Structure 1
Amino acid sequence: HGKEYGFGAHDFPSSGVFEVEPRKCPGFVYRTSVNLGEVNMHPSEFRTFIENMASEYHGDTYHLISKNCNHFTDDVSCRLTGKRVPGWVNRLARLVES
């Protein structure tokens, strides 16, 4: 639908999920895209899905190792396609956590 979603930290008990133009997230350098499949949902249905995800990802629950933007992406991908993101995407967090 021409949008990209991410999850980031802030100090408030409200959603940390945000919407940006694809590949242009302020403060980050775009590196690569990973094809996780396709989802055929009406835009309003997808919006509801993202709003539901946003209620589970509050900015004050962000944790660099255990609940970061890559965990969010993996969760979204699993729920929409049944596929996980490749292991290398969040490798550093897993290494530090173990």
Structure 2
Amino acid sequence: MARQLSPIMIGKQLDGIWHTGIVVHGAEFFYGGEGIANCTPGGTMLGEPNSIIDLGTTEVNEEIFMEYLSSLGESTYRGNQYHLFEWNCNTFSNEVAQFLTGSRIPAHITDLPAEVLSTPFGQALRPFLDSINVAPQGGNTFNGQYGQR
């Protein structure tokens, strides 16, 4: 839908409006309006991913990763801090990817909100979008543990 409507609405072609998560230690972790959540890979309410980007392997073991996620969930990635344009699933995925592998997620994903907001339509739409909390759900809220569903 973004591919079809973006030229008309914002004057430039967008291939999608991306939700990202990180798959590590057998589960997918993502951030949304309920905070950090996890599910089986591809198990968010958005369904199977359109694409998967291999960011490499990690030397971070499961115990250290869970401690790291717990720390993030208690501080910078609580549900009430979610913001569609400025603090979202892509911000989270980018930070976690760097922690795990030293790699970032692609810039065309992290730069998308600023690209949309730089258009007249984005500026007009921003007050409405700022007033709602549109965040992917469909996982288990992360509480320091995870399990496959």
TM-score by length of 2: 0.56
Question: Contact 2:94–2:104 at 8 Å: present in 1 too?
Answer: yes
Q: Which runs of 5+ in 1 are unaligned?
A: 11-15
Q: State the identity as a percent.
A: 29
Which of 41, 49, 70 lines up with 2:68 in the alignment? 49
Q: Which runs of 5+ in 2 are unaligned?
A: 1-24, 119-149
Give every structure 1 segment of 4 or more consecutive aligned residues whose post-TM-superposition deviation is greater than 6 Å: none
Quote the offset at 1:97 in angstroms. Answer: 4.2
Quote the offset at 1:36 in angstroms. Answer: 1.1
TM-score by length of 1: 0.82
Q: Which has the larger radius of gyration?
A: 2
Partner of 1:82: 102
RMSD: 1.5
Partner of 1:24: 43
CA distance in 2, matches of 1:23, 1:31: 10
Which of 35, 40, 59 lines up with 1:40 in the alignment? 59
Quote the offset at 1:47 in angstroms. Answer: 1.0
Question: Contact 2:36–2:78 at 8 Å: present in 1 too?
Answer: yes
- The total of aligned residue pairs comes to 92
